[in-house]
A and B are shown apart, each in its own frame.
Chain A
Amino acid sequence: MTDDAGFDQFQGTRSYIASDELRHAVNVAVALARPLLVRGEPGTGKTLLAESLASALALPLIRWHVKSTTKARDGLYVYDTVARLHDSRFGGDHDVRDIARYIKLGPLGEALAAPSRVVLLIDEIDKADIEFPNDLLLELDAMRFRIDETGREVTARERPVVVITSNNEKELPDAFLRRCVFHYIQFPTRELMAEIVRVHHPDLTDRVLDHTLEVFFGLRATPRLRKKPSTSELIDWISALKKSGVDLARISGGIPFLGTLLKTEHDLELVGKRAKA
């Protein structure tokens, strides 16, 4: 797909089914060159979105997985002082006076310094400190930054397509939200879910698919569940069923491999009790 394909650049891919709303939000973000902030229940394919967007636009993907200790600066660059000290003492074939050798670009830095357009995924931004998104405001706005040690200015030649995911663990600051295009991935409807499962398990018969979805949505509708099973867990569950050779048409009694769908003791007990009753 090329740039002159116009607005509807993203249509989902063969392995990623996107709802109309999601496609629209992605295309708006691409057209406005603003970061796309995606929220949604865990397991609704927020991270996969970036991958499929990159392959749909035929652009390289740079991932930045945020952890609780991640600092905004780490995303731009890291100045490896210890290596420089080491080289100054033990020599080696490096020129110690050249600081640039010891500057390593982080994922955001790489995306900005890239010679062509890239897709940058900032995964689970809410895991980091509350100030983290604020520290990125300028870089995401202007798409440039300065390496203080060398005075080098890095400016993006083409604004990267930025996809940011969040699990809603923390509130994000308003100033940050203002600059994003926002989309909330809703849990798929039964029809959409059937389509998604088809993509991953094309050999499933209609009857079996129907039956698994019945069980799955039945489980999700169970009241007081601590953690509802998600799309990715459904797909795992079906794989497990297929591999074990259980007859999928006859899973009405107990649910086999319940552990792939429910992840807390409380939920397992609850569903067990309801099955008996």
Chain B
Amino acid sequence: VLVDFLFELRARKVPVSTHEWMALMEALALDLHDSSLDGFYHLCRAICVKDTAQYDAYDEAFLAYFKDVHVDALRITEQLAAWLADPRNLERLTPEQQRAMRELDLERLRELFEQRLREQRGRHDGGNRWIGTGGTSPFGTGGRHPTGMRVGGGGGRSALAVADERRFREYRRDVVLDVRQIDVALRGLRRLGRDGAQDELDLEETVDRTCRNAGEIDVVFRPPRRNRVKVMLLMDVGGSMDPYAELVSRLFTAASRAGRFASFSSYYFHNCVYASVYEDAQFRRAVAVADLIAHRPCDEKLVIVGDALMHPAELLDPGGAMYVAGERRASGHDWLRRLAGHFRSAAWLNPEPDRFWGGTTIEVIASVFPMWQLTLDGLAAAVRFLTRGGERPRVGDPSRWVKAASER
């Protein structure tokens, strides 16, 4: 009977394994739950739920299963947030569609929103009516209604500077990278060396020296093996990277785990690297790229994560940094080349599916930095390249872009 409850839990993303379920059955057989529902509640939670973040979902499942109480009010807001946190399916707008979208004033918009919220029953992506992601409805996030209302999330895609460059973007489920997979892939990124305090007994050497010493004990210590790889991570955030925010944050989590690298630093940028990068994702604490190049050792591994998609002018024109004031003489392309010139090994990880790379600024950037798609395979290949070198992947033909820029 209880098996349904197991699936109820799993449906709510509480990862209960068979192992735990068997333990629960064993506990029930021992009557550890006092034959009461309250007892069962605590017993099942202690055995099956291992993360406080999942307690709430457990409570929900429990209520739904045992009391037939629906907690819809709570779920609607949460679900709404969940739909919106997860933008998908950005459609390219045709001029007709754009015309079709009437400009709405704020009052009317608010009224409509409340009405839709009452009517809507499920997740909705794309399309032009319901609250959801993508699509051309005036409500939701990541959509492209010019005067629409943004609900949750951030960074709609209707920024005019990039609107024409957008292509169909699909939400991938086939290769989902979780933190652990990334963790495993990053384990390859190491160069072990003995460094630091000598606190490990070198048994072989001790025996060897002692023998040579005619039995006089000669104890030899050595420093333990540690990873000596230094890593710098540059991350593109905001705007067109919003659909990949979760993926990038997983990569960051895995990379920043304590003790992984000899040194690890991370910076943020928006769209393209210009004169500065930032220590925080809110772009408050700037660090000059020129300083990074001057002070960072060139054997640091540079890993850049970004979709490398922008208007060609934002990459190639000297004044292309439309979000950044300050030095405007060098283009984003120049700054990228300076970085690539300094760091001996670097890689660019792109969450954008590689079949859409052709004919965009990705081609240009891939000619500066060796680029891989941010999938398990791509990450593994990038790690191989960073540790052992090898051939860089070829992407398209960037020459026409550079020519176009010099003509401009």
Q: Which A residues contact B (CB, under 8 angstroms)?
A: 7, 21, 24-25, 27-29, 31-32, 34, 37, 39, 81-82, 85-86, 89, 129-130, 170-171, 174, 177-184
- Known contacts A7-B32, A24-B42, A85-B210; A180/B201 CB under 8 A: no
- Of all chain B residues, which has the CB nearest A173? B180
Q: Which residues of the partner chain A approach B32 to less than 8 Å between Cβ atoms?
A: 7, 27-28, 31-32
Cα–Cα distance between A179 and B49 once the two chains are bound (Å): 11
Cα–Cα distance between A86 and B216 once the two chains are bound (Å): 9
Cα–Cα distance between A235 and B50 once the two chains are bound (Å): 30
Would you call B17 and A24 a contact (CB within 8 A)? no
Cα–Cα distance between A162 and B222 once the two chains are bound (Å): 35
Cα–Cα distance between A182 and B45 once the two chains are bound (Å): 8
Closest 4 CB pairs of A and B: A177-B50, A25-B46, A24-B42, A182-B50
Q: Which residues of the partner chain A approach B219 to less than 8 Å between Cβ atoms?
A: 82, 85
Q: Which residues of the partner chain A approach B46 to less than 8 Å between Cβ atoms?
A: 24-25, 28-29, 181-183
Interface residues of B in 162-214 (CB under 8 A from A): 179-180, 201, 203, 206, 210
Q: Which residues of the partner chain B approach A177 to less than 8 Å between Cβ atoms?
A: 50-51
Given B52, B210, B216, which contacts A184 in the complex, CB threshold below 8 Å? B52
Would you call A89 and B201 a contact (CB within 8 A)? no
Given B26, B50, B206, which contacts A85 in the complex, CB threshold below 8 Å? B206
Is B71 an interface residue, CB under 8 A from the partner? no
Would you call B23 and A34 a contact (CB within 8 A)? yes
Would you call A24 and B50 a contact (CB within 8 A)? no
Cα–Cα distance between A106 and B31 once the two chains are bound (Å): 36
B218 to chain A, nearest CB (A): 10
Is B257 an interface residue, CB under 8 A from the partner? yes
B26, B39, B52 interface centre (most CB from chain A within 10 Å): B52
Cα–Cα distance between A180 and B353 once the two chains are bound (Å): 40
- Of all chain B residues, which has the CB nearest A25? B46
Would you call A178 and B39 a contact (CB within 8 A)? no
Cα–Cα distance between A244 and B56 once the two chains are bound (Å): 45
- Of all chain A residues, which has the CB nearest B215? A89
Cα–Cα distance between A183 and B43 once the two chains are bound (Å): 10
Would you call A28 and B27 a contact (CB within 8 A)? yes
Is B19 an interface residue, CB under 8 A from the partner? yes
Would you call A130 and B257 a contact (CB within 8 A)? yes
Would you call B17 and A178 a contact (CB within 8 A)? yes
- Known contacts A21-B42, A170-B257; A32/B216 CB under 8 A: no
Of the four ranges (under 10, 10 to 19, 20 to 34, 35 or more), the interface on chain B belongs to 20 to 34
Would you call B258 and A170 a contact (CB within 8 A)? yes
A131 to chain B, nearest CB (A): 10
Given A21, A89, A182, which contacts B49 in the complex, CB threshold below 8 Å? A182
Would you call B49 and A32 a contact (CB within 8 A)? no
- Known contacts A129-B259, A170-B257; A181/B47 CB under 8 A: yes
Cα–Cα distance between A184 and B55 once the two chains are bound (Å): 10
- Of all chain A residues, which has the CB nearest B55? A184
Cα–Cα distance between A34 and B15 once the two chains are bound (Å): 19
Cα–Cα distance between A218 and B32 once the two chains are bound (Å): 39
Q: Which residues of the partner chain B approach A129 to less than 8 Å between Cβ atoms?
A: 259
Given A21, A28, A86, A170, which contacts B47 in the complex, CB threshold below 8 Å? A28
B177 to chain A, nearest CB (A): 16
Q: Which residues of the partner chain B approach A89 to less than 8 Å between Cβ atoms?
A: 210, 215-217
Is B377 an interface residue, CB under 8 A from the partner? no
A192 to chain B, nearest CB (A): 16
Would you call B50 and A180 a contact (CB within 8 A)? yes
Cα–Cα distance between A183 and B45 once the two chains are bound (Å): 8
Cα–Cα distance between A115 and B215 once the two chains are bound (Å): 40
Q: Which residues of the partner chain B approach A182 to less than 8 Å between Cβ atoms?
A: 46-47, 49-50
Q: Which residues of the partner chain B approach A28 to less than 8 Å between Cβ atoms?
A: 27, 32, 42-43, 46-47
Is B30 an interface residue, CB under 8 A from the partner? yes
Is B78 an interface residue, CB under 8 A from the partner? no
B14 to chain A, nearest CB (A): 12
16 contacts between A and B (CB under 8 A): A7-B32, A7-B34, A24-B46, A25-B42, A25-B46, A28-B43, A32-B47, A37-B50, A82-B201, A86-B217, A170-B258, A171-B179, A178-B20, A180-B50, A181-B46, A181-B47
**Beyond known contacts A25-B46, A178-B19, A182-B47: 13 more, CB 8 A cutoff:** A7-B31, A7-B32, A25-B42, A28-B46, A32-B23, A39-B52, A81-B206, A129-B259, A130-B257, A170-B257, A174-B15, A177-B51, A182-B49
Cα–Cα distance between A25 and B44 once the two chains are bound (Å): 10
Q: Which residues of the partner chain B approach A130 to less than 8 Å between Cβ atoms?
A: 257, 259
- Of all chain A residues, which has the CB nearest B16? A178
- Of all chain A residues, which has the CB nearest B42? A24
Would you call A31 and B27 a contact (CB within 8 A)? yes
Q: Which residues of the partner chain A approach B19 to less than 8 Å between Cβ atoms?
A: 178-179
B238 to chain A, nearest CB (A): 25
Q: Which residues of the partner chain B approach A170 to less than 8 Å between Cβ atoms?
A: 257-258
Cα–Cα distance between A62 and B270 once the two chains are bound (Å): 54
Q: Which residues of the partner chain A approach B26 to less than 8 Å between Cβ atoms?
A: 32
Q: Which residues of the partner chain B approach A183 to less than 8 Å between Cβ atoms?
A: 46
Contact pattern, B 119-153, Cβ under 8 Å of A = 1, otherwise 0? 00000000000000000000000000000000000
Q: Which residues of the partner chain A approach B23 to less than 8 Å between Cβ atoms?
A: 32, 34
- Of all chain B residues, which has the CB nearest A21? B42
Q: Which residues of the partner chain A approach B180 to less than 8 Å between Cβ atoms?
A: 174
Q: Which residues of the partner chain A approach B47 to less than 8 Å between Cβ atoms?
A: 28, 32, 181-182
B289 to chain A, nearest CB (A): 31
